[in-house]
Amino acid sequence: MPAAPKPDILAAFEAAKGFMPVDEGLALYGAGVEAGELGLPLLEVGTYCGRSTLLLADAARQAGVTALTVDHHRGSEEQQPGWDYHDPETVDPEVGLMDTLPAFRRTLHKAGLEEHVVALVGRSPQVAKIWNSPLGLVFVDGGHTDEHATADYEGWAPHVAEGGLLVIHDVFPEPEDEFTGQAPYRVYLRALESGAFTETSVTGSLRVLRRTGAGI
Ligand code: SAH
Ligand code: MG
């Protein structure tokens, strides 16, 4: 049996705003628990309101490591007002821009997982540029343009330790299945072609790859 989160964490996951279905969440959790055994932090790109962060946080708690999560909290292109994935509740009325940080903090607090997470609030490439330590797992679930997905891969994949996991969300090999573009699929192909990663599991649009070589 693969590791599964406790019912209260699963309930918090299902109650949180976000875009990840349960089967993919369980796969992410399993990857987090496995990677946690390396004793290195687990890092997510794309916090949004903390739905997937909860699972990495619970996996990190089990392993005694820290979950890190990066987001500028101003939303991706497709989440802006007027777009399909917009949620008006995520807009800060005073500033007039999206701000998902308060919802994220509530999600974590309610689940009792605050102490296991460090939130990095900023643009992913800017944080990656000053990052210099190995990671047990990198979960790429940020912006879906080629510019963003490529920058996330180039900025974070090199920090995945040997034996660690690179998890990519929203990988849609068939153009007719995708909702927000195929940039994550292109990044996934690039990771495989680099020779540094080997696929270990596929669940819906979630791909788990293991770092088995150098070369990125
Ligand atoms: N992992 C979340 C969903 C993330 S949605 C879940 O499963 O619920 C994608 C998030 O990526 C958005 O919150 C958006 O603000 C963030 N994002 C997009 N481009 C970014 C960038 N360049 N730097 C930091 N965050 C970014
Ligand atoms: Mg996603």
Query: In the numeric block, which tokens belong to residue 19?
Result: 């875009």
Task: Give the pairing type, strands 117-121 and 97-98.
Answer: unpaired
Is 48 touching ligand 1 by the criterion CB < 6 Å? yes
* Residue 144 falls in the annotated catalytic set: yes
Residue of minimum CA distance from atom 13 in ligand 1: 48
Rounded to the nearest angstrom, the gap between the alpha carbon of residue 104 and the centroid of all alpha carbons in its chain is: 13
Ligand 1 midpoint to CA 1 (Å): 31
Is 20 touching ligand 1 by the criterion CB < 6 Å? yes
Is 142 touching ligand 1 by the criterion CB < 6 Å? yes
Is 152 touching ligand 1 by the criterion CB < 6 Å? no
Q: What gap in Å lies between CA 104 and CA 110, rounded to an integer?
A: 10
Give the total residue count for the chain.
216
Q: What gap in Å lies between CA 184 and CA 186, rounded to an integer?
A: 5
Is 90 within a domain?
yes
Q: What's the number of domains the chain is made of? A: 1
Neighbours of ion ligand 2 (CB under 5 A): 19, 141, 169-170
Catalytic residue among 72, 73, 116, 144: 144
Residue 181 gets the label, from left (phi > 0), alpha (psi -120 to 50) or beta, of left
Is 163 within a domain?
yes
Is 131 within a domain?
yes
Is 180 touching ligand 1 by the criterion CB < 6 Å? no
Residue in 47, 92, 106, 127 to alter for ligand 1 test, most ligand atoms within 8 A of Cβ: 47
Tens-place pLDDT, residues 70-121: 999 999 999 999 999 999 999 999 999 999 999 999 999 999 999 999 999 9
CB-CB contact of 166 with 211 (8 Å): yes
Query: In the numeric block, which tokens belong to residue 124?
Result: 């992913």
Q: Which ligand is nearest to the CA of 100?
A: 1
Q: What is the pLDDT along the chain (216 residues), one digit of tens a residue?
A: 678 999 999 999 999 999 999 999 999 999 999 999 999 999 999 999 999 999 999 999 999 999 999 999 999 999 999 999 999 999 999 999 999 999 999 999 999 999 999 999 999 999 999 999 999 999 999 999 999 999 999 999 999 999 999 999 999 999 888 778 899 999 999 999 999 999 999 999 999 999 999 978
Q: Which ligand is nearest to the CA of 21?
A: 1
Q: Report DSSP letters for 57-104, one per residue.
A: HHHHHHHT--EEEEE-SS--GGGSTTSTT--GGGEETTTTEE--HHHH
* pTM of the entire predicted model: 0.98
Q: Which residue range forms the structural domain that includes residue 92?
A: 7-115+125-135+157-211
CATH number of residue 162's parent domain? 3.40.50.150
CB-CB contact of 121 with 74 (8 Å): no
Is 151 within a domain?
no
CB-CB contact of 120 with 65 (8 Å): no
Amino acid at 214: A
Can you tell me which atom of ligand 1 is nearest the CA of 123? 23
Q: What gap in Å lies between CA 201 and CA 208, rounded to an integer?
A: 5
Is 147 within a domain?
no
CB-CB contact of 46 with 142 (8 Å): yes
Ligand 1 midpoint to CA 76 (Å): 6
Query: In the numeric block, which tokens belong to residue 74?
Result: 């101003």
Task: Give the pairing type, strands 135-140 and 160-168.
Answer: parallel
